[in-house]
Chain A
Amino acid sequence: MTEGGTLTEAIGAAIGAGLTLLIFSYMLGDNPLYRLALHIFLGILIGYSFGVVVRDILFIRLLEPLAERKWEFFVPLLLAIVLMTKGVRRQAYIGNMATGLLIGVGTAVALSGALLGTLIPQVAATGRAMAVGGADLSQLDGWLLVGRGALVVLGTVCALMAFYFTAHKQRGLAGLWSRLVALAGGAGRLFLTSAFAAAFAGALTSALSLLAERLYRIIDFFARLLTPS
């Protein structure tokens, strides 16, 4: 604790440390202390979120404009009221229009961004990986660049082949193609497995990072208590 720390900060730190330990008690199994901390966390989160929505959305962005007689904001108010009918099964059909509007707008926005921000750049990047013409093959970096490019392309294609389930055994050229597709699909599953493994490692790292951060906070808290400043 830094110099000049106030009592509220100390209390806040203590509460945080205590709740952290309660959450960590789950490592010993499900217990009421863990559930207590969990319920406190979820309750505060939902309550604060509700307050933010009511203040920032309902009052500031809807009621205040209506109070200023900006009647165009009556449309979102109507849509919001209609959307609430989704909670009643018999009258759920009434909110279909508002639901359609939400889905339509969101799909449109997301689709354009996905095309411009993900699909096209990724395809372009895959193509650029194949462009090994400028690589200096006399150097190891050149070969690494080519290898990396080929690996990217191969991994991409094979991963897509892994989702091809309609291939069936045939004879002749068709059978050769089926076997090739099955082989690529197998390789694709290896790439997918590696990707999932990397994601798992990242999640594990994130968890350990959180653990380390929490332990640091707790040790620092007790060190400050034990060590007179």
Chain B
Amino acid sequence: MNSGTMIDCPSCGATNRRGSHFCNECGQPMPAQTSLRCPECGAANPIGNTYCDQCNARLTRGLMPSGGDEQPESAGQEEEAPSGLLAQLDRSGRQRSGSAQAPSGAGQSFGVPEWLRDLEAEAGGRGEPGAGLSVGQPDEPPVAAADLYAAKPAMPASPSGDIGGMADWLAEPEPGDIGAGIGDRQEQFPESAAAQPPPAFGPSEVPDWLLEMAPPEIVGRKPAAEPTQSAAPPAAPRPAPPGAAEIPDWLLDVAPPDVAAPAAAPAGVDELPERRLQEPAGAGLHDIPDWLSDIGADTVPFAGEGAGVGGPTEEQVPEVLAPDSFGVPDWLSDIAPDEVSGGPEAAEADEWPEQRPPGPAAPGPAEVPDWLAEIAADESDLLPELTDEPDLSAMLADAAAAATATEGVGLPDWLQDLEPDSGAAEIQPGEAPPPALPTAPAEAEGVPDWLRAVDAGASGAPVAAPAGGAHAAQVPDWLTDLRPEDTVEEGPPVSAAVGPLGPPPGTGPVEAAIPEWLQAMREQQQSPGVAPEDEPVETTGLLEGLRGVIPAQSIEVPAPLPEVAPEVGEAAAARAQLLQSLLVPAGEKAPVEARKREVSTGERIARWLVFAVVVLPIAVVVGWPVFAGESEVLILTEPQSASAEDLFEAIEGLEAGDVALVAFEYGPAEAGELGVLAKPILWHLEEKGAVIWVRTTRSDGQALADALRVDMSITEQYTPTYGSSAYVPGGAVGVARALARCDRQDPGSDPSECPDIVLVLAGQMAPLQWWVEQVQARDIRPPVVAAVGASVVPAANPYLAANGGRIAGLVGGLAGAAAYEAQLGNVLSPTTRMLNGLAAGHLTVAALMVVGALFYGLTGSRRRQGQ
């Protein structure tokens, strides 16, 4: 319940502080009007108040149509109690024009249409001027707002048909009827109802809610089952929400007189509330638009079932009928004449209480919305002089034109429908032209009293047209307040049909924009020399469509700093180079040097030249005897070596049956040299009758041994015999295993199985070392002789016994082989030819080295001088 400082949210019921625009719990917009403005004195009262705190005027109004029997009273009531906004305004107009029946509380003057005035006149002629809804008697005790909406099965019937402030017909409106007012009139004036032809008003042009109020014979519907009079107890009225405001009179009987008359007698006044409250079958009361329902359940008298969501359209006319005769919705109350605005209407309003005819105190006029009051105050000069018979339609049209010039925001649909087809009304783009309001016939049947009263009052009381017209009226403040702060600035114009919840469907999304409060937080950095509007628009990402979010900045590449070479002394540079040479591993340099480069033609020629110089002499020397026949061989060197003699002597000392362990420790690449060297030694061993054991630590050693034997059988016509052949892997460990029989400490060893001599045929130094060292590590140390390649001789010389080593004899290279063959007496062996070729090669290489050294020695000095 709304209190003085707190108000309840109409959506979720949460308590919010007065003045809040949005609910803190659900976020729904709060009713803009958080207080009721007294129509009498203009003071702000809490919404829950029924009477003004200042002047005790009644704040909320109910809709109570008066029955036919109550015409005089209703007329009186109509005079003394302005039941509807229009009536109130009409009364104000009458007051302005000096009418005695000027109603009170009118803040603005509305022009009553002709058809309405005709109805009023007719009703007035029949003694029921302004017969319509009347609010509770002023003498009646105030009724709590909650009671007004309470479902009361039976309410005390009053002569005027009021039921504790709420008309019976308003309590339980029945479907199928347009309005109680019309029905009442028909009841009251059956003659006129029968005489009057049914209004020619198409159902497509009249809002449904209005059609529901019309008599069945007007709209061609099946009449209600039993139209009940005020005497009949009304059906249980639908409990209206608390704080419902009365439906303006002029709003209820908007239906033109040419509306099809209902088939049956109109429902009694008691049924109007039901008709208005209940959703009729088939036709269906139009749903209360969301903008109306969300404004406040406490103010909106009736949010019908199936209220439409998304706001009303032009076709939808919000259901504004309030079952409660006391409560006037805020939005509707705002439409009421505003006495606070201080216009002439206010002065007129003040006069109303004095001019009020005796009788029940007229209830306070409904509050005129601010937007309407402002327009009326501002555009008062635009409004035509009100005559006794103001032209409501013209006023509406003028006001519409004026409002269009100001803001151009349309009125709600229900208000738009009030305006007759006026060409001056500005239609919002995209909106269908509103249906032309039907003009009431001069003698309309079933004109409700309240409407008649309005019409009667309109004779003297000019009713100013709503500011801005029915279509293009400015947005009321209460509506503006409901609008979110971050409303899109650019977008389709909001029509009158647009509710506070947003644009009507179909308008589509609105381009987003940065709210002002967010823009204020943005850094004031703009691209130099670029106007905000000229800044580029973001095309991708989350900022797509926005401008100036990221200021465009030119990318300036800083100028590189000038490189200043440090001054380094020569000594420091030399130390740096030395350090670099020590730090950089040698392997890192190899890839750079080993980088393959293209061979130029000069290099190719040089290669061919070197090949020819080196190869040709050797080939000539080696091949000369072959082509020249068995001539004397040019022997450049005489093979003679002391070490070869020692080897010869060592083998010569063997006896038949001695074991000679021959270690084949060279590979295929060295087989050309070592094979030549091994042949005479093996032949000598074979000649001595020694048993040759072949041992090798290489996997291909045995193959080389076999190949040597085959070659000897071909070239020497001699095939040596191998006693055994074995592969002993593991390097020194394998050699040690091979010599295991030479250890007397080995339990399985047999000294007789220890070789008598070890001949090592090595192409590398390492295998020779293994054999020499391992033999020295044995208990039985047979003599070790070696036949090595020319490259191993320098490293093997320290191991000679003559030099303190353990090698008894050593021959190396082709020279050693030639020398050994000379020892054997074979001088013209192929080895000698190859040795001559080797000698020729030596001479060639030596000559090249001397020539190159002289060449670079002479030219190098010039190159250094040039540098």
Contacts and interface: CB of A to CB of B under 8 A. Distances in A.
B717 A2 contact: yes
A9 B715 CA distance: 11
Interface string B591-624: 0000000010000100110110011001100110
A173 interface: no
B430 interface: no
A124 to B, nearest CB: 6
B833 interface: yes
A111 B808 CA distance: 23
Interface in B821-867: 830, 833-835, 837-838, 841-842, 845
B834 A220 contact: no
A14 interface: no
Contacts of A45: 668, 700
Given A5-B714, A117-B806, A223-B626, A202 B798 contact: no
A202 B599 CA distance: 29
Contacts of B615: 27, 211, 215
A133 B842 CA distance: 40
Contact of A29 (B604, B715, B736, B804): B604
A216 B804 contact: no
B517 interface: no
A125 B732 contact: no
Given A105-B733, A213-B673, A219-B626, A203 B804 contact: no
Contacts of B732: 106, 109-110, 113
Interface in A106-144: 106, 109-110, 112-114, 116-118, 121-122, 124-126, 128
B774 interface: yes
B769 A28 contact: no
Interface in B782-822: 789-795, 798-799, 803-806, 812-814
Contacts of B774: 109, 113, 117
Given A57-B727, A122-B798, A208 B804 contact: no
Interface in B654-697: 668-670, 672-673, 676
**Residue of A9, A195, A199, A208 ringed by the most chain B CB atoms within 10 A:** A208
Contacts of A206: 670, 673, 789-791, 813
A214 B803 contact: no
A220 B619 CA distance: 11
Given A28-B611, A113-B732, A116-B773, A125 B813 contact: no
A120 to B, nearest CB: 9
A35 to B, nearest CB: 14
Contacts of A124: 804
Given A213-B676, A216-B830, A117 B777 contact: yes
Contacts of A157: none
A205 B842 contact: yes
Interface string B753-780: 0000000000000000110111111000
A212 interface: yes
A195 B672 contact: no
**Residue of B672, B736, B792, B835 ringed by the most chain A CB atoms within 10 A:** B672
Contacts of B714: 1-2, 5, 9
Nearest to B621: A212
Contact of B672 (A41, A117, A126, A214): A214
Interface string B699-735: 1101100000000001101000000001101111100
A112 B607 contact: no
Given A206-B790, A208-B842, A29 B607 contact: yes
Contacts of A5: 714
A41 B671 CA distance: 13
A210 interface: yes
Interface on chain B toward A: helix, strand, loop, or mixed SS? helix
Contacts of A212: 618, 622, 814, 834-835, 837-838, 841
A117 B699 contact: no
Contacts of A110: 731-732, 770, 773
A199 B790 contact: no
B842 A219 contact: no
A213 B622 CA distance: 9
Contacts of B626: 219-220, 223
Contacts of B791: 199, 202-203, 205-206
A29 B598 CA distance: 11
Contacts of B702: 52
Nearest to B835: A212
B804 A125 contact: yes
Interface in A145-193: none
B777 A208 contact: no
A146 B608 CA distance: 49
A195 B727 contact: no
A9 B627 CA distance: 23
B757 to A, nearest CB: 17
A126 B804 CA distance: 8
B258 to A, nearest CB: 99
B619 A128 contact: no
28 contacts: A1-B714, A48-B700, A48-B703, A49-B699, A53-B699, A110-B773, A113-B770, A113-B773, A113-B774, A118-B773, A118-B799, A121-B776, A122-B798, A125-B798, A199-B794, A199-B795, A202-B791, A202-B813, A204-B845, A205-B814, A206-B791, A208-B838, A209-B789, A209-B814, A215-B615, A215-B619, A219-B622, A220-B830
Given A48-B699, A49-B699, A109-B733, 13 more contacts: A29-B604, A57-B727, A105-B733, A110-B770, A117-B806, A118-B773, A206-B813, A208-B841, A209-B790, A212-B618, A213-B834, A219-B619, A219-B626
Interface of A: 1-2, 5, 9, 27-29, 41, 45, 48-49, 52-53, 56-57, 105-106, 109-110, 112-114, 116-118, 121-122, 124-126, 128, 195, 198-199, 201-206, 208-217, 219-220, 223
